[in-house]
Amino acid sequence: MGQYCTTEASDHILTITLSRPEVMNALHPPANAELAEVFDEFAATDDLWVAIVTGAGDRAFSAGNDLKYQASGGEMGQPATGFAGLTARYDLLKPVIAAVNGVAMGGGFEIALACDVIIAAESAVFALPEPRVGLAALAGGLHRLPRAIGVKRAMGMILTGRRVPASEGQELGFVNEVVPDGELMDAADRWARMMLECSPMSIRASKQAVYEGLELAGVRAASEARYPAVRDMAQSEDFVEGPKAFAEKRPPQWKGR
């Protein structure tokens, strides 16, 4: 139990709840530092395979950077792993699901974009409104959003700071699924459990190949690149177990190693 977030681990799934509801789960440097430690532990714990990130209360996933804290002269700065300890964590190979309830503004939207899958409640609203307060979405939002939905669609959001409801987010392509508010966490858990049906080694190899491949110029370069997680997958017990379980017509027993 942390001061600015809560965590719950069960069945290889870690659920992280941003918990500053009095400021719509906006984050300040102490909260970012605490979350960085949480994600460090998630990355290092062999028995944790998938993370779900959500916000406390029914008003907000996260309103982003705590501007009132900043305006009051509070010490600023972020951990090396970025806003929420996640937006610059480029070496995290385990999948992370954003379960977005209510407002995901600015840095809150950037947290969601840094996740691999976004599940949104019908009440969820997304925006990068930083230009409206003299700032810019520099925690990855300006780069992740165009890659997710295309430059023109992204610029339509970035240059206006407009609010996009969950249904439009799904149409644009950055939201995977929209569900009724009361079904959000069940839906996120359903996605997590579908991931658990797959080999953790294959999941990590796939995630690394996708994101590092996107850094390269073309399909050939991305296909011919070498990815350490793919090597680890090929040397793992899961690499043997998957085909063996298929041949024996039984569910695989993944080890994650």
104-129 pLDDT tens trace: 999 999 999 999 999 999 999 999 99
Q: What was the pLDDT predicted at 19?
A: 97
Q: What was the pLDDT predicted at 67?
A: 80
Average pLDDT taken over every residue of the chain: 94
Q: Please indicate whether residue 110 is annotated as part of the active site.
A: yes
Q: What was the pLDDT predicted at 135?
A: 83
- Token pair in block for residue 49: 């395979």
Check pLDDT > 70 for residue 91: yes
CB 7 within 8 A of CB 39: no
Q: Using 50, 70 and 90 to split pLDDT, how confident is the model at 216?
A: confident
Which residues of the chain form beta strands (DSSP E)?
5-10, 13-18, 50-55, 60-62, 96-100, 103-105, 117-121, 125-127, 164-165, 177-179
Question: 5-10 and 164-165 as β-strands: parallel, antiparallel, unpaired?
Answer: unpaired
Check pLDDT > 80 for residue 76: no
Contact partners, residue 152, CB within 8 Å, separation at least 6? none
Enumerate the domain spans of the chain: 5-196, 200-247
Q: Using 50, 70 and 90 to split pLDDT, how confident is the model at 74?
A: low
pLDDT over 70 percentage in the chain: 99
Check pLDDT > 80 for residue 62: yes
Question: How is domain 5-196 classified at the CATH fold level?
Answer: 2-enoyl-CoA Hydratase; Chain A, domain 1 (3.90.226)
- In this predicted model, which residue has the larger pLDDT, 242 or 51? 51
Report the C-alpha gap between 217 and 91 in whole angstroms: 20
Check pLDDT > 90 for residue 77: no
CB 30 within 8 A of CB 79: no
Check pLDDT > 70 for residue 97: yes
What is the average pLDDT across 55-66?
Answer: 95
Residue of 8, 34, 110, 237 with catalytic role: 110
Q: Please indicate whether residue 241 is annotated as part of the active site.
A: no
CB 187 within 8 A of CB 119: yes
Residue of 130, 215, 224, 237 with catalytic role: 130
